[in-house]
Amino acid sequence: AQRVTQPEKLLSVFKGAPVELKCNYSYSGSPELFWYVQYSRQRLQLLLRHISRESIKGFTADLNKGETSFHLKKPFAQEEDSAMYYCALKGSSNTGKLIFGQGTTLQVKP
Amino acid sequence: KAGVTQTPRYLIKTRGQQVTLSCSPISGHRSVSWYQQTPGQGLQFLFEYFSETQRNKGNFPGRFSGRQFSNSRSEMNVSTLELGDSALYLCASSLESSGGPVQFFGPGTRLTVL
C-alpha cells in the first residue's frame, strides 16, 4: 500500500536551532517525493521535490530509498518558517495524484 | 499568471442537499486534481482530470463526482450530503514537465454541512 507517515504532529524549536521534519513512505516502486508548506492563511504550496535536489529557503531533503525516508532539514530555523509542512508521494509519473502525510506543524519560537 | 481559483470560497448546506464546486486552473494547465482536507483524515485525493477525462480516482463513494470542460475548468459535485462531508476542498492544477506534473493549489472551498 502507498502510504506517507509524518510521525510528529507538532515540532517546536527555538529560532536558530536546527530543524528536522521526518517523513517515511511506503511504496513498492520508485516514487517521487515532495514537501509542501502551508503558511497561516495562505494556500498550500510546493516547497521542494526530491528530483530537483535543490535548497529552498534553506531547506533541503534527501531521498533515502534504503530507509524509505525523505526528511526535511534546515540548519538554522527562522520564525517565518512557522507553518504546516506536508510530505507527499507521487507514484506514477503519468499522474498528478499525490498521497499526503498527516502534516507536521513547525513552531519556531523567538 | 493568475493562480488557481476556486468558487465559492464558503458554502453552507444541509444534509441531503447536493453541491457543486468550481475550479479554474492556471492558464495552460490541463490537469486538475481535487482533494478533501479534514482535521481527522488530512489531505485525501478525490480524483484527477486531464483533457476532460478522469485519469485517477480516490477511494470516495459514488456521491462524489467531477468533470472537466474543454477549457480545463473543472467542477466537482457531491450529492446527498452527509455531515462528514464537511471539509476544505482543494483543487490543484498541474503542468506536465520533464519530472512529472507539479501541483499548484487553489485556496479551497470550505463546505459546512449542517
Distances (CA, A) of B88 to A2, A19, A45, B106: 23, 29, 16, 11
Over chain B, what is the mean pLDDT?
92
Task: pLDDT band for B95, please (50, 70, 90 cuts).
Answer: confident
Task: Give tens-digit pLDDT for B32-62.
Answer: 999 999 998 999 999 999 889 998 899 999 9
In this structure, are strands A99-100 and A72-74 parallel, antiparallel, or unpaired?
unpaired
Are the C-beta atoms of B74 and B67 separated by less than 8 Å? Answer: yes
How confident is the model at residue B100, as a pLDDT?
A: 60
**What pLDDT was estimated at residue A31?**
84
Q: Residue A46: list chain B partners with CB under 8 A.
A: 102-104
Question: A81 or A93: whose pLDDT is higher?
Answer: A81
- With beta carbons less than 8 A apart as the criterion, state whether B59 and B66 touch: no
Q: Which of residues 27-86 of A touch B (CB under 8 A)?
A: 32, 36, 43-46, 49, 51-52, 86
Instruction: Give me the residues of B, 10-29, that contact A with CB < 8 A.
Output: none
Of A43, A96, A102, which is closest to B101 when you measure between CB atoms?
A96
Q: What is the pLDDT of residue A24?
A: 97
d(CA B73, nearest CA chain A) in Å: 16
**pLDDT tens by residue, A31-90:** 889 999 999 999 999 999 887 778 889 999 988 989 999 999 999 999 999 999 999 998
Written as nine digits, the cell of B47 is 480524483
C-alpha cell of residue B74:
473543472
State the Cα–Cα distance between residues A73 and B112, nearest whole angstrom: 36
A19 pLDDT exceeds 90? yes
Does pLDDT of B97 surpass 70?
no
The lowest-confidence range among A49-53, B11-15, B35-39, B75-79 is A49-53
pLDDT of residue B102: 80
Q: Considering chain B, what percentage of its residues have pLDDT values greater than 90?
A: 80
Q: Judge if the upstream peptide bond of residue B61 is cis by omega within 30 degrees of 0.
A: no
pLDDT at residue B103 in the model: 86
